[in-house]
Amino acid sequence: EDKVVQSPLSLVVHEGDTVTLNCSYEVTNFRSLLWYKQEKKAPTFLFMLTSSGIEKKSGRLSSILDKKELFSILNITATQTGDSAVYLCAVVNYGGSQGNLIFGKGTKLSVKP
Amino acid sequence: KAGVTQTPRYLIKTRGQQVTLSCSPISGHRSVSWYQQTPGQGLQFLFEYFSETQRNKGNFPGRFSGRQFSNSRSEMNVSTLELGDSALYLCASSSPDSGGYNEQFFGPGTRLTVL
C-alpha cells in the first residue's frame, strides 16, 4: 500500500533553534514531493521537489529530496513563534489506489518564546 | 488574483441527510481536487476533476461523489451522512502550467458536523 510517513509527529522547540522534519515514502509511481504548512486554516504551499539532491530554499526554510532512499527533509533555522504549525508532506503518485496526492499525518511544531 | 473559495464554511447536518459543498478554483485553474481532513486520519484524497471529468479517485465509498462544471467550479456531494463524515473538507485547485505535478492551492475548507 502506498504510504507517506512523517516524523516526529510533534516537536517542541525554543525560538532560535534549528529543526529538521522528516518525510519518508513508499509509492507506486513517484512524481514529486510537496511540503505544506498548515496553521488554523487550509494548507499553504512551501516547496515542490522532483529531483534528488537539489536543495530548495525560501528564507529560513529549506528542503531536499533523496529519491534513492525515498525520503525528504524540511529544515527550519532560527525558528520563530510564527513557525508554529503542522507541516505536511505529500507525494504525487499517479495511478495509485489512493489517488494522485498522498499526505503524511503531519508534524506539529510548537515554537516557544 | 482571488484564491480558492469554498461554500458554505460551516455546516451542521444529521445522520441520513445529504449535503452538497461548493468550490470555486483560482481563475484559470482547471484541476480541482477534494480532500477530507480528520484528526485521526489526517488529509485523505477524495477525487480530482479536470475539464469536467473525474480524472482520479481516492478510496472512499460511493456515497461521496462530485462533479465539475464548464467554468471549473466543482461540487461535492455526500449522501446518507454518517457520524464519521464529520470533518473538514478541503478543495484545492492547480494550474495546467504546473506540469501535472499538482502544485495545489487550497481553499479555507468547509467544516461539516454530523449529529
Q: Does B50 touch chain A (CB under 8 A)?
A: no
Question: Closest Cα to residue B115, out of B4, B22, B17, B31?
Answer: B17
Give every CB contact of residue B13 below 8 A, 6+ residues apart in sequence. B19, B81, B112, B113, B114, B115
pLDDT tens for chain B, 115 residues long, are 689 999 999 999 999 999 999 999 999 888 899 999 998 888 888 988 988 998 888 889 999 999 999 999 999 999 999 999 999 999 999 876 554 555 788 999 999 999 9
Q: Are A14 and A80 in contact (CB under 8 A)?
A: no
Smallest CA–CA distance, residue A64 to chain B, in Å, is: 17
Q: Decide: helix, strand or coil at residue A81.
A: helix
pLDDT of A95 higher than 80 = no
Nearest to B56 among A43, A99, A103 (CB): A99
| Cα Rg, chain B, nearest whole Å | 13
Smallest CA–CA distance, residue A90 to chain B, in Å, is: 10
